[in-house]
Chains A and B, each alone.
Chain A
Amino acid sequence: MQNIKTDSGSLSGKRILAAVLLSIVMAAPAIVVYRLAFSSSHFLDVRTGPINFQWFVAATTPYWLNATITSVLLALGVTSAAIFIAVPAAFYHFRWPGALSSRAIDLAATAILLIPPISLAVGYFRSFGDVSILPLVLGHVLLAFPFPYFSLRVGLASVPSDVSDAAGLLGASDFDIMLRVLLPTLRSYLLLGALLAFLTSWDETVLSVFLTRPDLVTLPKAVWETMQRERNLTAAAINAIVAPLFAISIVQLFIQSSKKAKL
């Protein structure tokens, strides 16, 4: 197989083939879901029937529309809250890196990534009882917070300290340095963090299933419950629309951030 020229020499066709095959294997379940979205069958069978748009039509019924709108609003609210909390926290770490509190926030953010959501769900149930929306929002914000926080931390690490020092010497307050000097240079990191926070809330199923009352239906809860009860593939249609948007956005922002970090 012909070799392909890359940035740093040539790469054998066999290695490219291996990478492509592995990637296809990893993407296969998602591809199945994609085909199911256009299926005319009620069963998990990608071979039956011609391409059909029935599940896209079903996605406009009130149940699914409400679940989608609830999830979008929840995810937008959670993302905003996570950003609002992560920006000052990341800046605090940048400004006072040696402080014990900085290390404690780092530790807590890492711990949040590692805690099983089901353990958190039991703790929330013990704390808040049968209150539906508050623990759900709080749990989502908590689970989403580490993504913009760590993304901004990586971005801030690539900013030369001279920039903030110069702004400080020119009389800018810490808030001004954060909002008017550093934040505009960290747009791609902020967007990557925001997107990952949005996806965390959008995808979070465990808290939604265990903590919400029947009248509050988020999309993950609707997907999980309908897929267990019946073979309703409506959410596959919703996924077929949003999945490529998410994937392209993540790659674009991730590459930008990685390149900046490399510099």
Chain B
Amino acid sequence: MRESNGTEITTIVGAVLRAMGATLKNLFRKPITVHYPDKERTYPSRYRGLLALTYDKDTGEENCIGCRLCEYVCPPAVIKVEMLKAEKRNYAKTFTLELYACEFCELCVQVCPTDAIVMMKSFDMPTADRREMLLDKDRLHAIGLKYEPSWATGNLLRDMQTPPKAPAPAHKPAATSPSSADPVVPRVETA
């Protein structure tokens, strides 16, 4: 225990007043609380929220071709897909995603060749029963139509990781809405 003598009293008193002054200063600062759910904070464009399946913008067909790459890459193995073969292209017969066990790691989005599975900019799925979070294909499509998708789709993420060598890419990475455009810092291929 420190001995108290005259000079130390001033240090102690000074320190006490400084600490109290810091608290007082914060008393007059605006609180940083966001009144959720009345107001929501703005989520960044790459936000990893709920998962959803998408439709093609031009044709309106489902993007998912049932290739099962997402099922194999998922670390906790929450995705189950059955493929349905058809003449022009394949579809997913069933697509189940156990959202209660999902880690939100975005690996399924990363590997999807057709940008079929994406994450939304919302996590709004409060429920009292975990079984309601077992999403089937219809619910995944419904989520895709209800919320705003995040910027990250499979092709964009793969282009970011390794940019395509050809100057004119076959797919259009700028197919996202302007408000969620997330242009990457321009890079030059260096040695």
A and B: real partners?
A: no
Q: Enumerate chain A interface residues (CB-CB to B < 8 A).
A: none
Which chain B residues have a beta carbon within 8 Å of chain A's beta carbons?
none
